[in-house]
Structures are given as structure tokens and as C-alpha cells.
Structure 1
Amino acid sequence: MKRIKIVYYMSLLALSSVLCAKQSQPAFHRAHKVDFFTSMEWDTKKNRFFKEKYFLANTAPAKKMLEMYHILKGLYDKNDFSQKAVQGERVIPKIIHQVWVGPNTPPAIFKESQKSIQKYHPDWQYRLWTDADIPEFKLQNQKFYDLSNNYGEKADILRYEILYRYGGVYLDADFVCLQPLDILSQYDVWVSIQPLDCGGEIANGVIGTLPGHPILKDCIDTIEDDWNAFHDKKNNLSVFDVAGPRHFQRSFMKFVKTGTENFIAFPRSFFYPLDHKDRLLGLNNHNNKNGQKIKAKIKLECFAIHYWAGSWWGNKQNEEMLGMSQVTVASKGTSPVTVVSKGTSPVTVVSKGTSPVTVVSKGMSTVTVASKETSTVTVASKEPKQPLIKI
């Protein structure tokens, strides 16, 4: 009996060790191959408009974007770690950087971001960079850092110099890790691509790199040129070109030449499972229903999820400028109602009376019209592929 008990407890111990080992492993198996365009949700109905606008239109920018995607797909297929291990001579340092500058309080999701980093990277260093670190850092682009009146732009300028000097991984404050990033340390540089509904560009919100990499050096050296070319105090969208994602994308693509480079751009499902239009869903993820919707969007390959906190454009004025604010119109009487949408705002018109309702969409708004009485509803779209839902 004693011998049986010993064997029994040894079996339990072995089983416990196996379970603990499994729990410490990332959920994503190396053999799980993910198709580039499937990850981008290229052929889905929801992305038809964006695909035709940004990639298939008969314009020079669209043709350039489509060409870039085929180049990135080739690089991804060659260097995807599910197919073979990347043989780099050096590895990305195990340090995660985050930046928070300016007087505003970080978004609520920031605490979850920090917790997830600690949970999945217990043996990594962590560094939060704030205003207090700037005087001693001696930025190469200190002049433009000081001139900028946008804290998102300041954070862009700062992240490139941090990564160039120290290497490691940069994560925006609204990223929550879902599994360890260790397996990605074998690349020289790794990045991710954003969803199609915000242009499908290479993101600068998550970057892994060796210290001293030429891509980061080019990002730093060309900020002055892009500042002079794009900076406009009247247009907050210029931050994307001055030091933001488009600036980073231009530098990244300069170094994708032979296809032998030891870096990779992961398609959206690895780091951007939420579409840009889902930002309200993400920011209200405490709601159980929203939480279930978010969970349904996360694929096996997802390393981290971006919640689109967008702190630098979080006020109402900037949301309207970017066309992201949600518009709801409820008509109960007989007064004429006109809604003009210039961006990507979801527009919902609920008419309970007899008032004529006109919706003029100049951008990519999804317009939902629910008429319960005899009201006349007119939707005039100046974009030929503007989505329309009739109830």
C-alpha cells in the first residue's frame, strides 16, 4: 500500500509539472501557419470599401500600397517563424519600453497593459519613459520635440531614439499582451500592420529591434525633412507623416530590398485584432457583452491586442476631425433633419415621426436608417462604395 501511494503521488507530481509547463508556454504553436491576406481580412465584406479605396483604385498611392503588400507578404512568408527558425547572429534585448509624456492621465487600459507585460515577461526589464527623462536623454531631434504641440508626436520622436540607443520592444500604452514575445527576439526588427479600415499601414505602436539598427537611424535622421514637408499646426493628421506610422513605414520599406533581411511585418491579427471602428468597443471592454465580442476577434496567433485609446486625439474636436465620432440622430417630429458625415463616423438615424431626413456622406460612414413611421429618408453618398444598412 505504501508503495502504491508513493507511485500515486509521483504520478500527480509529474502531471502537475506537465500542466505547469504547458501553462508557461505561449498558446501559439510554431506550426500554426497564418496566411498573410487572411490575417488582414482582405476578402471580407466589411473591408471591401477600404480595399478598393486604398489598394485597388487607379491612383499612384493605391498602386504603391498594393505593391508594398506583395513585398511584405513575400518577406513574411520567408521569415515566418511557423515555417522555420530565423537564424540571427544577435537577439533583441529583453527590455520593453513604454512612453507617457504630457500632463494628461494615461488611459485606464494602461494599467492592464503594464500588468500583462509583467505577467508574460517576468525575466524582462521594463522601462517607462516620462517627461522627467527627457533633459538627460539628449535627443538628436530635441528641436522638433520641443516645437511639437502634440504629445503623440513627441512620443513618436522619442520612441525611435530610445529603440536606436537601447533596442528592445516598444509598446504603446494601450497594448495588452496575451502571450510572451520571446520567440520574436530572434529577428533583427519586427513590426505589425494595422487593419485595413485605418489604411492598412505599417504601425509604429509596436516595434521590436536590435539597438543601432539602420531603420531606426533613418527614422531619426529624416524627421527634419518630414517636419518641413508635412508639419501643419492646423492639421493634426500631419503627425502620421512627420514622425508617425507613415514616417516609420517609409524608413522600414527603404530596407526591404533583397528579401534576405532578417526582419518581418506581421499582418493585423498578430497585434491588431480590433478594427479601428471597434475603438469604442475596446475602450468599453469592461462591459461583459463587449468583452465577449473582443474575445471572438482574437485569433490563436495574437501576441497582444491594441485597444485604440488614441490619447493624443481623444477630445471631441479631434475625433470629429478624424471622422471617428459616433453620430446618432433621433427624429420624433416633422422638422427636416440633415446629417453631413465627412469621415468614417457610424451614423444611425431613427425616425419615429414624419420628418424628412437627409444623410449626406462624404467619407466612409456606415449609415443605418431605421424608419418606424412615414418619414422620407434620403441618403446621398459622395463615395460610390459607402456602406449602407437599411432596417
Structure 2
Amino acid sequence: MIPRVIHTIWVGDESRRPDNCIATWRNKNPGWQLKVWGNKELAETPWVTSRHMQAMAQRELNGVADLMRWEILWREGGFVVDADSICQRPLEPWLFECDAMACWENEVIRPGLIAAGYVAAAPRNPFFAKMVQDLMNMPQVDDRMAWQSVGPLFLTECHRLYQYDRLTIWPSHFFIPRHFSSEARYGGRGHVFADQEWGSTLGTYDQLHKKAIAA
């Protein structure tokens, strides 16, 4: 089973960590444990892809978070969410009645691309074990943008390569009701569990941690 643990990752300048966003996950899901991974955990955990993390840290810190994300899922399981996401309603148990889950980034704007910001799995899931193994064997990952080499494109390519049929992929509006490239927002009556602030993509982290957010 997928453990009832919400993981979020923030490395770099901790004074800009969006604790206002992170707190919404704790407040709306009191039955879940919230675990925040930061600089201390990055430095002290024996990551198998540590050399890639060190290289990626010179290019994109969000790429370091992605590398940590896959190892956390493989080691501990649980639900990893982006630090710049805002929980809008309590998580439903049926979301996690599976071996692993994720959601699409946007079915219209980026069809077929699996988002990396909301992924859950049981510990030692074989698919995430293969992802970590593949990363460990790669000679380099900082030669491309992080979203390509270690983020959503990497996740999507692994899903296609290994044809892992136990990954439940939910609609994008469950966690990403607005894509960064459009002002349009999901307007249907379906479930919206979170909002995505796109802090890395839009470069808004200088202000995001100051934003007033309803808990």
C-alpha cells in the first residue's frame, strides 16, 4: 500500500521556502504525516544519484529535487508533491488505491506528458527502482533542461519504455488546474485537490513565500 506520508522537497535558500504553501497539505490532511526534505537531508542522505545531484545543483535546483523525488519514492514510498503547490481539499483515499499514481501535466497543451509534481507509490516499487537505476547509470544529466533529463519527460519516457501498467494517471485538473503557459483554468465540476504555482518555471519564488494563502 501507498504510505500516508506527504513528502515535499526544498533545497537551496531556505529563507524563500514556501512554508505557506506546504502548510496547506498538513492542515487539510491531518491523517497524513508531512515530511519536508531540505538541505540537511540532501547533505546527509546516501543518495545513489548524488553525483548527478551535485552536477544539477550548478544548473537547476528543481532538477536536484526531481532526483531526490524518485529516490524518496523508491526508498520510502508515499506521495511527493511540489513545494509550490497549494492543497485545496483533503486527499481522497480512492486516489491511492493503486500501486502508483501520477497525473497528466495538461491533456490539451502537453498531451501525453506525465507531470512529475504529484507522484505516489508504495515503497520499493519496481518501476521507480528502474528509474533510479537508469539515472545511476547515466553518464550525465545536466546536459539538458531538468524537466527533460530528470523530470516529467524522463518519467514519461520511462513509463513508455517499461510499459508499466500499474501507474494510475489521473486527469491534470486534479492537481494542476492551470498550466503555466495559459491563463485558462479548469472550469468543470470535477475534483480539484491542488493548485500549482509554477514557482521554478515562472521565477516567482522571491514572492511566493510571502503570499497570503488560505490554510
Distance change (3 Å), C-alpha of 1:186 and 1:179: same
TM superposition outliers: structure 1 runs of 4+ over 6 Å: none
Which has the larger helix fraction?
1
Structure ranking higher on relative contact order (CA contacts 8 Å, 6+ apart): 2
d(CA) in 2 for partners of 1:177 and 1:101? 21
Is the contact between residue 100 and residue 128 of structure 1 (CA under 8 Å) also seen in structure 2? yes
Shift of 1:207: 0.4
Letter in 1 for 2:43: P
Aligned residues with identical type, % of pairs: 23
2:86 and 2:189 map into 1 onto residues whose CA distance is 14
Partner residue, 2:113: 201
Partner Cα separation in structure 2 for residue 95 and residue 298 of structure 1 = 29
Between Structure 1 and Structure 2, whose CA radius of gyration is higher? Answer: 1
Whether contact under 8 Å (1:190, 1:208) holds in the other structure is yes
Q: Aligned residue for 1:126?
A: 34
Give the aligned partner of residue 179 of structure 2: 275
The answer for unaligned runs of 5 or more in structure 2 is: 205-215
Secondary structure at the aligned position of 1:222 is classed as helix
Cα separation, partners in 2 of 1:299 and 1:274, compared to 1, 3 Å: farther
Query: C-alpha displacement at 1:202, in angstroms?
Result: 0.4
Shift of 1:172: 0.2
Question: One-letter code of the match for 2:116?
Answer: N
Counterpart in 2 of 1:189?
Answer: 100
| Count of residue correspondences | 200
Answer whether contact 2:55 2:142 (CA < 8 A) is retained: no
Give the aligned residue type for 1:118: R
Counterpart of 2:6 in 1: which secondary structure?
A: strand
Which structure 1 residue ranges, 5 or more long, are not aligned?
1-90, 282-292, 316-391
Q: Provide the rounded CA distance (Å) in 1 between the counterparts of 2:156 and 2:53.
A: 20
TM-score by length of 1: 0.47
Give the TM-score, by structure 2 length: 0.81
- 1:22-66 deviation digits (Å, cap 9, x = unpaired): xxxxxxxxxxxxxxxxxxxxxxxxxxxxxxxxxxxxxxxxxxxxx
Q: Residues 197-276 of structure 1: matches in 2 within 5 Å?
A: 197-198=109-110, 200-226=112-138, 228=140, 231-232=142-143, 238-256=145-163, 261-276=165-180
- Please list, as runs of the form range in 1=range in 2, the aligned pairs for 1:1-391 lying within 5 A after superposition: 91-103=1-13, 105-106=15-16, 110-148=18-56, 149=58, 150-181=60-91, 182-195=93-106, 196-198=108-110, 200-226=112-138, 228=140, 231-232=142-143, 238-256=145-163, 261-278=165-182, 297=187, 299-310=189-200, 314=203
Whether the 8 Å contact between 1:273 and 1:298 is mirrored in structure 2 is no
